[in-house]
Amino acid sequence: MCGITGIVDYTKAPDEYVLKNMTNALAHRGPDAGGYCNFKDCVLGHRRLSIIDLSESANQPMISDDGLTAIVFNGEIYNFKILRELLESRGQIFRTKSDTEVLLRLYIDQKFKMLTQLNGMFSFAIWDEREKLLFLARDRMGKKPLYYSHSGKRISFSSEISSLIKDPTISRSIDPQAMSEYFLYDFIPAPHTIFSQIRKLPAAHMAVVDPSGVKVSRYWTPPEPDPGANYEESKSSLLEILTDSTNKRLVADVPLGAFLSGGIDSTIVAALMSKSASERVRTFSISFPGTSHDESRWSKLASRSVGSDHSEHRVDFKIEDLFTKLVTHFGEPFGDSSAIPTWRLCQETKKGVTVALSGDGGDELFGGYERYVARRMQNIYDCLPKIFRTKIIEPLILNTRASTDYYGFSMTKKLKLFIEASNRIRTDSSALTPQTFTRDQVNRLTGLSYDPGLDPAIDHAEKLMNLDPVSKMMFTDLQTYLSEDILTKVDRTSMAHALEVRSPFLDYRLVEFACRLPLGFKIRGRTTKRILRDAAQDLVPSAIMKRPKQGFQVPLGKWFKESLKHWAEQRLFESSDRLLNRQVVEQLWKDHQENRADNASKIWLILFFHEWNDQFA
Q: How confident is the model at residue 1 (pLDDT cuts 50, 70, 90)?
A: low
pLDDT of residue 386: 80
Q: How confident is the model at residue 59 (pLDDT cuts 50, 70, 90)?
A: confident
Domain presence at residue 423: no
Give percent above pLDDT 70 in the chain. Answer: 95
End-of-domain residue from the set 546, 579, 605: 546
Q: Give the CA count within 13 Å in the CB-facing half-sphere of 130.
A: 8
Say whether both 138 and 56 belong to one domain.
yes
Say whether both 207 and 243 belong to one domain.
no
CB burial of residue 536 (10 Å; 0-12, 13-18, 19+): buried
Domain presence at residue 447: no
Domain presence at residue 395: no
CB burial of residue 561 (10 Å; 0-12, 13-18, 19+): middle
Say whether both 214 and 261 belong to one domain.
no
Say whether both 126 and 181 belong to one domain.
yes
Average pLDDT of every residue of the chain: 92
Mean pLDDT of 401-409: 61
When comparing pLDDT for 585 and 396, which is higher? 585
When comparing pLDDT for 295 and 368, which is higher? 368
pLDDT of residue 389: 81
Say whether both 280 and 144 belong to one domain.
no
- pLDDT at position 402 over 90: no
Domain presence at residue 140: yes
- pLDDT at position 231 over 90: yes
- pLDDT at position 409 over 70: no
- pLDDT at position 279 over 80: yes
Which residue, among 205, 230, 257, 258, has the nearest Cα to 460 in the 3D structure?
205
| Count of domains forming the chain | 3
Say whether both 207 and 73 belong to one domain.
yes
Say whether both 494 and 601 belong to one domain.
no
- pLDDT at position 294 over 90: no
End-of-domain residue from the set 159, 191, 218: 218
Give percent above pLDDT 90 in the chain. Answer: 76
End-of-domain residue from the set 218, 253, 278: 218
CATH number at residue 25: 3.60.20.10
Tens of pLDDT, residue by residue over 304-322, are: 999 999 999 887 778 888 9
pTM of the predicted model as reported, rounded to 2 decimal places: 0.93
Tens of pLDDT, residue by residue over 151-185, are: 999 999 999 999 999 999 999 999 999 999 999 99
Q: What is the bridge-based pairing of β-strands 62-63 and 69-77?
A: antiparallel
pLDDT of residue 542: 92
Domain presence at residue 576: yes
pLDDT of residue 424: 85
The C-alpha angle 312, 321, 360, rounded to 5 degrees, equals: 45
- pLDDT at position 403 over 80: no
Mean pLDDT of 269-288: 90
Say whether both 15 and 150 belong to one domain.
yes
Query: Which residues neighbour 273 within 8 Å (Cβ) at sequence distance 6 or greater?
Result: 246, 250, 258, 281, 306, 357
Domain presence at residue 198: yes
The C-alpha angle 404, 407, 409, rounded to 5 degrees, equals: 100
Domain presence at residue 277: yes
Mean pLDDT of 376-380: 83
Domain presence at residue 406: no
Tens of pLDDT, residue by residue over 418-477, are: 888 888 888 888 889 999 999 999 999 999 999 999 999 999 999 998 899 999 999 999
- pLDDT at position 406 over 70: no
| Three-state SS at 191 | coil
pLDDT of residue 53: 63
pLDDT of residue 154: 97
Say whether both 192 and 269 belong to one domain.
no
Which residue, among 547, 544, 553, 552, has the nearest Cα to 301 in the 3D structure?
544
Q: What is the residue-wise DSSP string for 109-135?
A: HHGGGGGGG--EEEEEEEEETTTTEEE
3-class SS letters over 520-577: HHHCECCECCHHHHHHCCCCCCHHHHHCCCCCCCCCHHHHCCCCCHHHHHHHHHCCCC
Say whether both 112 and 151 belong to one domain.
yes
Say whether both 494 and 607 belong to one domain.
no
- pLDDT at position 188 over 80: yes
pLDDT of residue 317: 74
- pLDDT at position 47 over 90: yes
| Three-state SS at 347 | helix
Say whether both 596 and 514 belong to one domain.
no
**Domain interval for residue 117:** 2-218
Contact 121, 144 (CB under 8 A): yes
Question: Can you list the alpha helix ranges (DSSP code H) found in 356-393?
Answer: 362-366, 370-381, 386-388
CATH number at residue 347: 3.40.50.620
Rounding to the nearest 10 degrees, give the CA dihedral for residues 423, 427, 433, 434. -20
- pLDDT at position 401 over 80: no
pLDDT of residue 551: 66
Lowest mean pLDDT among 47-56, 266-275, 479-488: 47-56
